[in-house]
Structure 1
């Protein structure tokens, strides 16, 4: 429709998507002016689109005037086959794992150069956990991230190794040291971190595979310490991951 196209040729749809794309991991709350600037839109145009997106539920306006992504966007994201199928199949295994360990349990997959958290069950122990459902965190600083990085294509590994940012004083930022850890993940079948993403939190994670070498996701646990319980936690994780992998393979075969 002619009325949906600006003089520059961009459609209403592309401009609305530009508004949504203005948000990222470092810009979770934006003012009207910031949204207009990051989307490359005049303020009046941005205001009209933002008002429509807010009325629909794609955005939410906070009391301080800033806008954040609305729940409706997340609800739509959950309909994506790769995530909805994985989360549904994994749910009972995550619940069993939580009951067996009483620890914070994570289900995650790789999204580009980050780890995307698909599901989380909060443990009873007081552990500082920075993840939440929908969060994207560095691959090199998380247990589930290290698992996914260990089985990622070589070009992905090279990109991550080329910019290892420090999150805490314990984050691994030496490429050689991280490479050795990734080799150990593939050899031993699990990854671990010690206060690398947040102080006071350790993690252990294992791959979820639908066939040998075909890693589709990672399953992890966050605890205050791994000194005593690591073998028990790894065993519990592997049992759950094998169950999820078999269920995924069976579902895809139907």
Structure 2
């Protein structure tokens, strides 16, 4: 019997890739996004008996409830929900404006909380399910230059771990996945901003396939509570949290490394016309 997957942020990036993965596995897919044009290009040639594409503003309870209701009408249940939709804002704490705060907090945090709340309630009624929330390694170790984004991802991670404890005896598994920088539009949004240099200071930039393997293998098959991608960098961030002031001493070195990596990506993303090529 096919599993019903409900995903947010499916117009591009990780969400788009994972929707295609689950569809290709033969499951029912509810693909949502505020960008309905992007959704249409994803599912145009899919078997429409197995897919439901719906507009969703993750900041809105009413929008979420409409998606849940239509999913139940079509497929009868929500087996696995993935809160993937997110936005990034580059800038320092003394510089971003209140509108930036509202957008990033509402999409990245409020959207995950609302989605978890409504999907969890349905899963409890139906006797079980799994919710996978996408946080970030920026929610494990604070990233200067992305302080607003980092704050929301710390909150998503904390909320997910707490919700996992609350829901586990009711048959609902909650997992939180924390990837390093991934080659999606979020990378493109940071590529020309030196403030985001620390994002590029790790090792290899992740691909959506890296995130796919972690979600499918670690979160879904092994039902891990927390998934760090890569594990080594995630644990390094956790150790750094034990001595946060000491991490400042290596920030300048990491920033220099990140700036060099940014320059490489800037060069590779320039097409022959000199434009930035977006990766969706």
Report the TM-score, using the length of structure 2 for normalisation.
Answer: 0.25
Relative to total residues, which structure has the larger helix share, 1 or 2? 2
Normalised to the residue count of structure 1, the TM-score between the two structures is 0.27
Q: Which one has the bigger strand percentage? A: 1
Instruction: Pick the structure with greater CA Rg.
Output: 1
Higher RCO (CA < 8 A, seq sep 6+): 2
